[in-house]
Structure 1
Amino acid sequence: MKFALATPALNTYPAAMAPWEPKAGGAEILRYARKADALSWDWLTLPEHLVMPAEMKEVMGSRWAESITAAATLMGATQRIHMLTYILPLPYRHPLLLAKQIATMEFLAGGRFTLGTAVGHLEKEFEALGIPFHKRGAMTDEYLAAMKEAWTSDTPAFEGEFVRFKDIVIEPKPVQKPHPPIFIGGNSQPAMRRAAEHGDGWIPWLVTSEDLPGCIAYMKSLPAYEAKADRFEILVTTTAYKVDDYSHAERGQTQIASDRDGVLREIEALQKAGATSVQVMPPRHDTLEQTLEWIEWYDDEIIPRFR
């Protein structure tokens, strides 16, 4: 079992935000990242929205990081821990630009990056960026193929509906071979198919331990899954969000277990259901100091039981 740790203060999502986060800045986030790096956490997860539609500000918060910049900054501030974008909407960037950004980070930091990506879901965010919302699925599939071509070929060439290139050279290549791991997000069957066909893992966010076995059974039924079954990561958040999937309207209080028995129960349930990794959100402590103490406690008391 692997453990991904949510990075606080990069967004201000009301359902799970701690009281200290809105006033936190770079110094606090860097301190948090370095603390996790000194422990045994596998990933730091990094959220992303490029713009927030005004009508979503109340339910989603106004602060959301740009995850590639965040990843590069935190990779430069740490030595061991990997970064995982959770989740970067793939249609928002030209695939050659994104492939280059990721390869450059990898080259400088010795790997340590996993692309968590999905099609995106905020239609007005797409509109603001001038990207066709209703073509986002086809764009995502094509961009994934184009990025892999850029990362793995000495003479990359691609001819698609949305992107075309040839007679180019792209270096540096990524450190991780054949390319950085790609985890696909989304709770729908199309997202699961995309993960099985194009990804190295799946990262849903509103799927529970009760839902998970059926989802895994569906992915196992897909021909593309069999070849990667022994290395395919299924990373599920331990946070029990009480929100609607697309509106983000709260349907109750989101639950974040903080005590030893509660934490162990939730991880054991997810592991039994088929999860290979979990994403952990620290509880809503009042201060950064309390949060740092909690992630160290978790590292001492919880993680060793699942290694």
Structure 2
Amino acid sequence: MLITRKIIRESMKFGIVPREWGYFVEESVEQCILAKRVGFSSIWIEEHHGNEYYLPSPLPTLAGLSQHVPGMMIGTSIAILPLYHPVRFASDGAILDQLSGGRFIAGVGAGYREHELKLFGIPMSERAGRMDESLIIIAKLWEGEVVNFKGKYYSLENFRLTPLPIQKPRPQIWVGGWVKQAIERAARLGDAWFPGPSGTISFIEENLEFYKECLEKYGKKFNGFPIMRDAYVAVSDDIAVREAEESINYMYGIDYAKTEHPLLKGKQLNIDEWITDRLLIGSPLTIIEQIDRLRKMGVNHLILRLSLRK
């Protein structure tokens, strides 16, 4: 067990998603400070709108949290990119990178909850096109180029972003998504494929080969990938499952299942599958074994949601 723990700590980085609901600020700050003290290296904030368990504004939230934990990376997990004009996201991201001293990672995705896109006047059918155009524009702007771009959704003429991010050539861009088109996009336009917590490990293993093939197609090397998981640790496996079951039932049996999520829409909850192939739940030894499985897959940055939603 000690050997495995040492190997894991030397080969993987760990991030945390702090509490994101209610009057969250004080508790989230305390969680982030504790996370840094015990060895976590990054903080992540999600984006959803009209849901009491998520925050709608990840970038300003990260700007605030970053001031309490100098040295920790900060990232969006994920920002719903079609909801932003690419110049707006690039500008806010550059300022966030400056405020944090060059610690920003942009985790982005197309979104899957139709009501959120509708709220901003974006048809579901436009997500992919807006994602592609935005990713191209944002990368060029962050790298300091004078951008001339004419697309279906966005147009820029002789525009150069100022101020630029601190990181060179730019902050990393991690691209989420579950369908083949999204995984190909991650290889083509991103720095990493960023699977979220909702897909099974088996599904990720199967699609990892496709991601590697896409990387090779675009002349890129596979250097590992980040992943996000829900996790809960207790003194024994049985106690962990019993204490986390209510939260699991809500998140996966109610919240995700009623959305347009490509993997979970209308899916019945099978608790045995969820605790063995999707979530990290159990005793410390069980969790270490589960994390080691991820390490062997090539996971180099593990982001954990540790706050139960009820």
**TM superposition score normalised by structure 2:** 0.77
Q: Which SS does the other structure have where 1:222 is aligned?
A: helix
Output the aligned Cα RMSD: 2.6
Counterpart-to-counterpart distance in 2, 1:223 and 1:5: 25
Aligned mate of 2:183, from 187, 192, 205? 192
Counterpart-to-counterpart distance in 1, 2:178 and 2:267: 17
8 Å contact kept, 1:184–1:194: yes
Counterpart-to-counterpart distance in 1, 2:33 and 2:307: 19
Q: Which runs of 5+ in 1 are unaligned?
A: 12-21, 287-307
Residue 10 in structure 1 maps to residue 2 in structure 2: no
Aligned mate of 1:72, from 63, 69, 77? 63
Find the counterpart in structure 2 of residue 18 from structure 1.
none
Aligned mate of 2:89, from 72, 79, 98? 98
Q: Which SS does the other structure have where 2:205 is aligned?
A: helix
The residue type equivalent to 1:251 in the other structure is L
Residue 281 in structure 1 maps to residue 305 in structure 2: yes
Counterpart-to-counterpart distance in 2, 1:7 and 1:216: 24
- Sort the Cα spacing of 1:89 and 1:200 in 2 relative to 1 into closer, same or farther, 3 A: same
Q: Which runs of 5+ in 2 are unaligned?
A: 1-10, 233-247, 258-262
Find the counterpart in structure 1 of residue 35 from structure 2.
36
Find the counterpart in structure 2 of residue 233 from structure 1.
225
8 Å contact kept, 1:209–1:273: no
Q: Identity across aligned pairs (percent)? A: 22
Residue 251 in structure 1 maps to residue 250 in structure 2: no
TM superposition shift of 1:43:
1.5
- Sort the Cα spacing of 1:124 and 1:212 in 2 relative to 1 into closer, same or farther, 3 A: closer
8 Å contact kept, 1:149–1:157: no
What's the CA shift string for 1:244-289, capped at 9, x where partnerless? 4454866155644252211111111112233222222326499xxx
Counterpart-to-counterpart distance in 1, 2:230 and 2:24: 25
TM superposition shift of 1:168:
2.9
Counterpart-to-counterpart distance in 2, 1:175 and 1:264: 35
Q: Which SS does the other structure have where 1:194 is aligned?
A: helix
Q: Which SS does the other structure have where 1:166 is aligned?
A: strand
8 Å contact kept, 2:16–2:35: no
- Sort the Cα spacing of 1:188 and 1:231 in 2 relative to 1 into closer, same or farther, 3 A: same
Counterpart-to-counterpart distance in 2, 1:75 and 1:162: 33
- Sort the Cα spacing of 1:259 and 1:144 in 2 relative to 1 into closer, same or farther, 3 A: same
Q: Which SS does the other structure have where 1:276 is aligned?
A: strand
TM superposition shift of 1:149:
1.6
Counterpart-to-counterpart distance in 1, 2:126 and 2:213: 26
8 Å contact kept, 1:213–1:274: no
Alignment of 1:71-220 (within 5 A): 71-205=62-196, 206-220=198-212
The residue type equivalent to 1:264 in the other structure is I
Q: Which SS does the other structure have where 2:112 is aligned?
A: coil
- Sort the Cα spacing of 1:258 and 1:45 in 2 relative to 1 into closer, same or farther, 3 A: farther
8 Å contact kept, 2:143–2:170: yes
TM superposition shift of 1:228:
3.3
Aligned length: 267
TM superposition shift of 1:3:
3.3
Residue 263 in structure 1 maps to residue 280 in structure 2: no
The residue type equivalent to 2:68 in the other structure is A
- Sort the Cα spacing of 1:63 and 1:238 in 2 relative to 1 into closer, same or farther, 3 A: closer
